[in-house]
Chain A
Amino acid sequence: MQPSDSALISLYIAGKESAFDLLLNRHKSRVFTTIMLIVRDEDIAEDLLQDTFIKAIHTMKSGRYNEEGKFSSWICRIAHNLAIDCFRREKRSPLLSLDTTSHTFNSLSLAEEGADATLTREETYAQLRELIQDLPAAQKEVLIMRHYGDMSFQEIADATGVSINTALGRMRYALINLRKKMAAQPVFYDQNLYPRETAPVPVQRAAS
């Protein structure tokens, strides 16, 4: 059984560095994806990821970490704020480097499947990221905060100054829009493109 985030934070504050290693590895992908979807530049995203975790290190090691909320949503909120600040400061045009062979585009190695299959998969993932980028800003924001940022709909409503029903509505339309765009390109309905999760049950929900 994996230790909880809360347990890892306690161990880390008590001086056990390996606990932070686990915490970082557990959350870095979600946090990095959150940043990438906002700034759309891999180098900047790598820098902001470091800034995010450095802020977290300072807060935890100086005893200022508030145990009340979830670590996952807290760290993603820091990342989200840093990414938004950076995006506004840079006034970047919406350019996304879609280097489909990049190491960042998935953890599957070439050894696990054929190189062609990996490339096809990565190209499809890159197209999917473009579909996310094409969503209306308000929908994209909620989608990033809920799916990658692990914030609850109520937390999103509070953070964005809207009602929970508005946040839910935006997420609903984000998924509907995404589903429509995916339906227009049958390649996205190839079930083999997506990693298997737990055994199928009548309804399978996202891991919390």
Chain B
Amino acid sequence: MIKTFTHEKLLRYLYNELPAKEQTELEDTLQHDPELAAYCADLLLAQRALSAVQQNPSEATTQNILRYSRTFLPTS
């Protein structure tokens, strides 16, 4: 049974928010805990899927923003 605190630690690890020492400890635990490693792999797959579905704006919108920036002059 994976403990709740480990779940939360794992999440912070997946998003690069864990301090270096705790990161090393967690990586060590993952090497020796197949259940946790399998759970981590599942989360990574979900995370990768989230990244894959990112969408891009149209080129016209991008160009509008760049044009605005080039012509904007701050007052004061």
Binding site for B on A (CB under 8 A): 17, 20-21, 24-25, 28-30, 32-33, 36, 45-46, 49-50, 53-54, 57-58, 61-63, 103-107, 125, 128-129, 132, 143, 146-148, 152-153, 165, 168-169, 171-172, 175, 178-179, 182, 188-189, 193-195, 197, 202-208
Q: Of the candidates A171, A193, A208, which one forms a contact with B11 in the assembled complex, judged by CB atoms under 8 Å apart?
A: A171
* B66 to A, closest residue via Cβ: A21
- Say if the beta carbon of B53 comes within 8 Å of chain A: yes
Q: Are B15 and A203 in contact (CB under 8 A)?
A: no
Interface residues of B in 1-44 (CB under 8 A from A): 7-8, 11-17, 27, 30-31, 37, 40, 42-44
Q: Of the candidates B11, B50, B66, which one forms a contact with A168 in the assembled complex, judged by CB atoms under 8 Å apart?
A: B11
Contacts of A172 in B (CB 8 A): 7-8, 11
Contact A143-B68, Cβ < 8 Å, known A168-B11, A203-B27: no
Report the count of interface residues on B (CB-CB < 8 A).
Answer: 43
Task: Count A/B pairs, Cβ under 8 Å.
Answer: 142
Contact A179-B15, Cβ < 8 Å, known A28-B56, A54-B65: no
CB distance from A117 to the nearest CB of B (A): 14
For the residues of A in contact with B, the DSSP-based class is helix
Contacts of B75 in A (CB 8 A): 62
For the residues of B in contact with A, the DSSP-based class is helix
A-B contact pairs, 11 of them (CB 8 A): A20-B69, A24-B66, A53-B65, A57-B68, A105-B55, A125-B53, A132-B50, A143-B50, A152-B15, A171-B11, A204-B44
A168→B7 CA distance, assembly (Å): 9
Q: Are A208 and B46 in contact (CB under 8 A)?
A: no
A128→B45 CA distance, assembly (Å): 12
Contacts of B55 in A (CB 8 A): 29, 32-33, 36, 104-106
Q: Are A147 and B53 in contact (CB under 8 A)?
A: no
CB distance from B59 to the nearest CB of A (A): 8
* A46 to B, closest residue via Cβ: B61
Q: Of the candidates B12, B43, B65, which one forms a contact with A24 in the assembled complex, judged by CB atoms under 8 Å apart?
A: B65
Q: Are B46 and A57 in contact (CB under 8 A)?
A: no
